Structure 1
Amino acid sequence: MISINAAQEIVLKHTTQIDSESVPLLEAIGRIIAVDMRAPHDLPLSNNSAMDGYALALRPGQEQWNVVDFIPAGLLRTAPVCQGDTVKIMTGAPVPAGCDTVVPIEDITEDGGVIRLNRSIKRGSNIRKQGEDILKGNLLIKSGHPVRPQEIGLLASFGWSTLPVYRKPRIAILATGDELLEIGSIPSPGKIINSNSYSLAAQLIQAGGEPVLIGIAADTRKATRDKIVEGLQADGLIISGGASVGDRDFVRETILELQGELQFSKVNMKPGKPATFATIGSKPVFALPGNPVAAMVCFEMFVRPAILKMLGYSQLMRPTVKAVLSGQVLNSGERPHLVSVRVAPEGDSYKASTITNQSSANLASLTAGNGLLRLEPHSLLLADSVVEITLLDPDLGTGDIHYGTL
């Protein structure tokens, strides 16, 4: 068996970044920019008025100016403005040559096409200079940065209608087992609904991938092989069940028959000990336990970081927080135990409560929790201990949130 950290390192070593695609601007929200985006021109493109007023040349001793034109936003005056003349101008309109100041409307008096200043004003006031915000060639968004509404607004201001982002990896999801029924079926004694494919697909969508559900493989060599071959048409494959060493578990031997390489086949963790990672050609294959909680925890530990790397993220691990335990928790076993906890803000910090019934088959323990606590073997943590929690739901309000590294 290898450690969780060693397993994560192996997974990431064998995971490559996905190729890029061009998508419409609004479809890029939450996606990762695939190339450095640089300003194609200055912003503002030219000197423009910061408010409604009068553009003029401010000179010592001059007290009045003749109004010779009106420039609304969107209109460019090509003729320069002569000394002693002024133009009425709207916010955002280009300031014409010959003018060095914009005087707000409320600071002038107009009479018969002639204006006078009501108060003194500094030369150069109320003009947004060309390139004041961004100069041509400046880096707008670095490759690997997630696109937020702020970036959408910035890039839209330069006229981009499409953006180059990393393609969502298409990951096939396969469940194995004669006991499984498709969703919508009526369960009978000895049969269970295939829920793993849907929980794993939901986790994959949340991580930014695109699930391809390929159904259930019966517990035969041929069925297992046929479905794995089908799954290899995608960018990667997740298999739940069939990864142990039982008489009817054929996943590992099928991977080897297909010229795959087992990178690891057991991890020192609970739940999730049977977790297996392999590569077939350049395709990553994750064989996860059939127990629902174990499968979802293994996804968090190994699959999610791989998906984020494919997508071009630089931060691959979930955020963590320090929290105070509400009660004592014990791990009397030989393996590190990843325990489901409920984390809630309490003042400027967090309180963590453990969930009862941490069975690897009990999905209710995960739905009741929003974080994972790692308990080392043969360890007892007392109530009020300060512990580090991996957040599965980082939107918890106040508190000191940190992002871990391998």
Structure 2
Amino acid sequence: MEGITVEAARRKLLDLVAQLPPRETENIPLEDALGRVLSTELTAKTSIPPFRKAPYDGYAIVHSEGQSQFTVIATIGAGEKYEGKVLQGEAVRIMTGAPVPDDCDTIVMQERCRLCSDDGIPLQHSQVRDVMEPMGYDILVNGVIEKGENIIPEGEECAEGDILMDGGVLLDAGRVSVAAGLGHRQLPVYKEPKVVVLTSGREVVPLSETLQGAQIYNSNLYMLEGLLKEQGVTGFKAHHVSDDPDKLDEEIETVRQLAADADLILSTGGVSVGLFDSMPAIYEALGAEKLYDRIFMRPGAASYGGVIRREKGGLTFCLGLSGNPTAAYNCYHLLVLPVLRSLQGRRDIMLPVVMLKLGSGIHKKNPFDRYVQGAITCESGEAVFMPNRVFTSSALLGLAHANGMAKLEQGQHNYEEGDLVAVSLLKAHE
């Protein structure tokens, strides 16, 4: 078996991704854009905001040095515009977000103003109706009025034509909101990669069956499908390979049909040297060119990487992961995720890595780099990485709360509490 480091395997795969023709794009309705990848830069159609506006409720005035009493001539709310003239000594009551009248250069906060009727009787703001007509009352402003205060200028956030998003970014809720605010009813996105998910093992059964003897439930199917959905990939097909030698030809043909137009075949199980490990044989029967079949890492050494070359420069990546949950989860984030994100057209293909203190010691032989899952917690205002209690390749329950993965360097066998380790951020977690 040909061993290779995680970094070398990833480099081989990404070098091949870089040789692919440009990904196809499509325009989709904004309401369908969440989780997709923007294919071109997005520019501002107008300045944001497109007019001077009020940051909060108050009174728009023409500033005059030393003047503190003004007669209110109108009231405007958000979405309304006052077209009349405003002279010195006059004010327009203005609500949050409303456009500032053209003549006005200053807004006084409502909380600084005392109201009185034209005959000097004190008023409360609740007594003043929000209508456009003159109100027949004055305001007295407490304190010094600074010219130009409390006005949000036109173009404070951006000017027309500014680039607001680069192509290759994931459209999350914030970015979709920005696109909506700019008036984009449709967005150009990359087409989703087509993925086939394969699980394998004669001991693996669906949840619809009752466990018998040494059988286990097919948790890896839900893990891989969930990980794909978390990346916004929904266009995948799934199949379970029985690992029965008598059905190998039938399984090869089934996978061949499922993967005829696939960008990625992602499998779990059947990649070691066991008697019934059939995935390498299936991949090679499909014409895959083997890139590696063993990774210098723990857990997750049992892995397969290959590529099927298609017409017109197309490629189908064949990535086989261990059948053990922890090992498969680690290899997915280290090798599959960068390839998948690249196929999506994303710019940020790697997980962020931070240096964190260990919350407890780890004493384990590390002939190769070891990747340990755990939870990033906050203790006394400092982020700490608490490794899972059990981090063998077959461990399952730790996946329920793992939000980080620490790399323990090859040859370093003892880590003490408080030691710094490099931790990949897998996800946000409560």
Q: TM (normalized to structure 1)?
A: 0.80
Give the 3 Å change call, closer, same or farther, for CA 64–317 of structure 1 in structure 2.
closer
Counterparts of 1:3-402 in structure 2, within 5 Å, are: 3-15=5-17, 19-25=24-30, 27-29=32-34, 31-58=36-63, 69-78=74-83, 80-81=84-85, 83=87, 86=90, 88-91=92-95, 92-103=97-108, 106=113, 111=118, 113=136, 115=138, 118=141, 121-189=145-213, 191-210=215-234, 212-218=236-242, 219=244, 220-232=247-259, 233-246=261-274, 248-280=276-308, 281=310, 282-311=315-344, 312-324=346-358, 326-331=360-365, 334-341=367-374, 344-347=377-380, 348-350=382-384, 352-353=386-387, 355-356=389-390, 358-364=391-397, 366-367=399-400, 370-384=403-417, 386-391=419-424, 393-395=426-428
Q: C-alpha separation between the residues in 2 aligned to 1:318 and 1:61?
A: 56
* In structure 1, distance between residues paired with 2:101 and 2:155: 16
Q: Take 2:74 and 2:98, find their aligned partners in 1: how far apart are those partners?
A: 13
| Alignment-derived partner of residue 132 in structure 2 | none
- For residues 104 and 279 of structure 1, what CA distance do their matches in structure 2 show? 65
> Please, which runs of 5 or more residues in structure 2 have no aligned partner?
120-135
Give deviations 1:222-251, integer Å, cap 9, x for gaps.
223123213314431112233345555443
SS in structure 1 at match of 2:253? helix
Deviating more after overlay: 258-267 vs 91-100: 91-100
- Determine the C-alpha separation between the residues in 2 that align with 1:103 and 1:355: 60
Q: Is the 8 A contact 1:174 1:214 kept in 2?
A: yes
Q: In structure 2, do the counterparts of structure 1 residues 107 and 48 end up closer, same or farther at CA, with 3 Å as the change threshold?
A: farther
Q: CA deviation at 1:386?
A: 1.1
Q: Which has the larger displacement, 383-392 or 299-308? A: 383-392
Contact 2:72/2:139 (CA < 8 Å) preserved in 1? no
CA RMSD of aligned residues (A): 3.6
Partners of 1:37 and 1:277 in 2: CA distance:
36
Q: Structure 2 vs 1, CA of residues 101 and 24 (structure 1 numbering), >3 Å: closer, same or farther?
A: same
Aligned residues: 394
Q: Equivalents in 1 of 2:378, 2:102: separation in Å?
A: 58
Change (3 A) 1:71 1:20: same
Q: 1:260 to 1:396 in 2, by over 3 A?
A: closer
**Identity among equivalent pairs (%):** 25
Q: Distance in 2 between matches of 1:251 and 1:385?
A: 42
SS of 2:298's partner is coil
Contact 1:81–1:99 (CA under 8 A) maintained in structure 2: no
- d(CA) in 2 for partners of 1:377 and 1:289? 20
Question: Structure 1: which amino acid aligns with 2:227?
Answer: Q
CA shift, 1:40, in A, is 0.8
Deviation at 1:286, TM superposition (A): 0.8
Residue type of the partner of 1:263? Answer: L
Residues in 2 aligned to 1:122 and 1:185: alpha-carbon distance in whole angstroms: 75
TM-score computed with the length of structure 2 as normaliser: 0.76
